[in-house]
A and B are shown apart, each in its own frame.
Chain A
Amino acid sequence: MLITGIGVISAAGNNVVETLSSFEQGTRNAGPVTLFPTILKAPAFEVRQLPAEYYLEGWRTVSLALIAVDEAMKDARLSDLSGFRVGVCMGTTVASQLNALQFYKAYRETGAAPMTSVDRFLKGNLAEYIARRVHARGPRLSVVNACSSSTDAIGVALSWLKGGLCDIAIAGGSDELNHVPYCGFNSLGIANPGLCAPFDRDRKGLNLGEGAGVMVIETRATARKRGVVSPLFLSGYGTSSDAYHLTAPSPDGVGLKAALRAALAEAGISPGEVGFVNAHGTGTHDNDLVEGKALADIFGPELIMLSTKGFTGHTLGAAGGIEAVFTAAGLRAGWIPASAGFQNQDEAIPISPVRERTAVCGQYAVSTSLAFGGTNAAIVIGREEDA
């Protein structure tokens, strides 16, 4: 399936070009939380300049999604959807929950509360909102698989396209930085008081972030019919459950390895054909240890890999979409940035991420996600050899 368009917004930039510039310069746009009042001090990666034309009161997750959708559709030269079955599959965490503190505070104090927040919530289901906005008439799914949501959303889109449920899919994810998960991750003791350092020996946890990453994926026949060409394609998706623990990954990484093997099998490639891996790499002790070992087991110790969360923070339900876009952009550009925050090799992890901008060769790249609840997901993105 061809990837004909990509769009992204995060603290690293409001589009793909700005993001690659941040990557080149090693810019890390983290800072104190400004979006809501809190006594907590953990820095976060906020999108500082949301374009005014996309601002929607109380719908930040939707706003972020629309920016990425519009960029991806423009990149794909997709404006008129008539005549095509277009599916929309989006991952999120925040948009699926009525995390409305003021609404709830008013309700529990008075037994009544204005319905503004509820109305926004009911109209803001991510996939449904986007499908209506772009007039897509195919299948719609909002995937709420915690931190693997949008990797899974892209995988679902691949399944839809292969299964003939649609001709084109708009897939990815979006999440805003929200007060409730910000408190939640702090309570879990995995919020870093400084900047995150994925895979580093001295890593102290994650930083939360926000953003959206979206791909337009279509069958080759549809792209031909539309007169669109692209060197990028989506060739595999694998997913599995650890069946181990609600918040901790299985120490043996067996679930992640199963997801990786399934994704490679669907792509019809061997691990040696993968040029680089954009790892989930949150900067927490457990995630990076388990993921690093699993990646080394599958791909070997010489694997070229990175985590881009040092540039974006952990964007939760958006992470997989954002990182899929970064992976596609890296394949297209032929380089990946330094894995921001990484300095010292962890002796317990048999691989280490790149420390500097690195040229990548090879036709394929992999992006991984691990989630609360023990779900693991991986996708394989390819670039045409003659591109």
Chain B
Amino acid sequence: MKISGVGVICSRGLGVAAFEQALKSGWRKPGETEAHWLAPLDRLSKSSNPADSTNSGDSMSGLTGLGGEKAPAYLVTFDALPDKTLLKKIRRADAVSKMAVLAASDALVNSGMENIAAKRLGIIVATALGPHVTTFDFLDDILDHGDAAVSPTTFSNSVHNAAASYIAMSLNIKGPTLTISQFRFSFQEALRLAQVWLDQGRCDYVLAGAVDQYGDVLGYVADHKLTTAKDGRIKPFTFNPTCQVPGEGSVFFLLGNTSEGNVYCSVSEVHANDDPGQGKSVDINIIDADGMLPDESAYLAALSNDIPTAAYSPLFGSMMIGGAFNAAAGALMLKQQTRYATPVQDNPRGIRMLTESGSGGIGSIRCIGFDCYAEKSVIYLTKA
């Protein structure tokens, strides 16, 4: 299965060029967002004007007067996008759907294939948390207005497959359209299913990708259960203790069994919950470590001193779908034949880290992820 187009949106912007620029230029301190959970209790108050909210990722639309408590987060900014044509088409969509549509559309454009939407195209959207911010908006409705006076539009957008539906409508895709949700390996399972769909002729191409969104409640939960890096620096190679900084965004890949389009690389194997190719030699490992597990020591057993290892989560933030961004980085490296240095290089365990950018000689990359049960997922990418 070939990757014939990539679309990305994250805090560093929309498009492969922006993502590549982030890989080249390295870590940049993330922005900050209001952190309601850090506010002293006596300063929490309900505003009479829900329009007072300033944070697009804030489901608690009526909360104000919090006195500027902030937390770092890698957030997407739609305002900075130069072309808002697509956003206007989906103006009723929530942020998670908008990110997914932008990334999916970008992957089609990036493929360079003409009239691709007219081909038999399928969609697989992987998400860990779906439109949770809209879900909490709907809970606001119930709590503020009662069971009988809630918004049907908010409810419709809170359904997990809304993003896939907006992709289908925006891009006029009428093939198989599936949304899947798992907390750690949903993107890897999406790739496996895409391969099966292609092999069985259910479609000619699959737009498979992942999306997740930051929201205030997620920030609270992550801060409560994990350690937040107050300086915004995720250190993927510390393994234990770990620190996270929430991120959000979306990545989509145009996948097919032919070599048409803007081919990046082949996806040669995908495994979730195991790795039968554990001892296999590759040129680079990319690990999903991002502080989303309190202990990421499981990665240590998967790495060796023979293979340089990179981790790019400090560029886009901690996300349960972070593996999709790392796969995009891997695909880009194979296509450009360029190594991108690990952006945050704190390395107390002395892992053989990819420390410098450079060019040439990349034949294969293994993307590695672990879940909280120390189960492993791997994506093997090879030069096309």
Contacts and interface: CB of A to CB of B under 8 A. Distances in A.
B172 interface: yes
Contact of A104 (B127, B162, B172, B217): B217
Given A144-B179, A244-B169, A99 B202 contact: no
Contact of A255 (B123, B142, B174): B174
Given A93-B160, A111-B37, A241 B182 contact: no
Interface in B40-77: 41, 44, 60, 63
Interface in A88-118: 93, 96-99, 101, 104-105, 107-113, 115, 118
Contact of B176 (A113, A122, A160, A239): A239
A15 to B, nearest CB: 28
A240 B186 CA distance: 21
A interface residue count range (under 10 / 10 to 19 / 20 to 34 / 35 or more): 35 or more
18 contacts: A40-B148, A104-B139, A108-B143, A111-B37, A125-B182, A128-B182, A140-B273, A144-B160, A145-B161, A156-B178, A163-B195, A165-B192, A180-B139, A184-B158, A241-B164, A372-B156, A372-B159, A373-B164
Contact of B142 (A96, A101, A141, A239): A101
Interface string A169-201: 000000000011111111111000000000000
B302 interface: no
A137 B272 contact: no
Interface string B201-229: 01000000000000001001100110000
Nearest to A132: B373
Contacts of B136: 104
A68 interface: no
A162 B200 contact: yes
A242 interface: yes
From B185, B193, B195, residue with most partner A Cβ within 10 Å: B193
A373 B217 contact: no
B130 interface: yes
A243 B168 contact: yes
A82 interface: no
A241 B147 contact: no
B78 interface: no
Contact of B172 (A109, A186, A243, A373): A243
A373 B155 contact: no
Given A101-B143, A110-B44, A122-B183, A373 B200 contact: no
B221 A115 contact: yes
Nearest to A376: B177
Contact of A140 (B150, B179, B272): B272
B274 interface: yes
A258 interface: yes
A142 B142 contact: no
Nearest to A112: B37
Given A118-B225, A159-B196, 14 more contacts: A107-B220, A139-B272, A142-B182, A144-B130, A144-B180, A156-B178, A163-B200, A180-B138, A183-B147, A186-B148, A246-B157, A247-B156, A371-B161, A373-B161
B199 A163 contact: yes
A323 interface: no
B196 A375 contact: no
Contacts of B279: none
A152 interface: yes
A104 B132 CA distance: 12
B196 A163 contact: yes
Nearest to A247: B156
B135 interface: yes
B158 A97 contact: yes
Of B129, B151, B181, B273, most A-chain CB atoms within 10 Å:
B181
Interface in A135-171: 137, 139-146, 152, 156, 159-160, 162-163, 165
Given A97-B132, A111-B44, A372-B165, A143 B180 contact: yes
Nearest to A255: B174
B294 interface: no
Contacts of B166: 246
Nearest to B172: A243
A281 interface: no
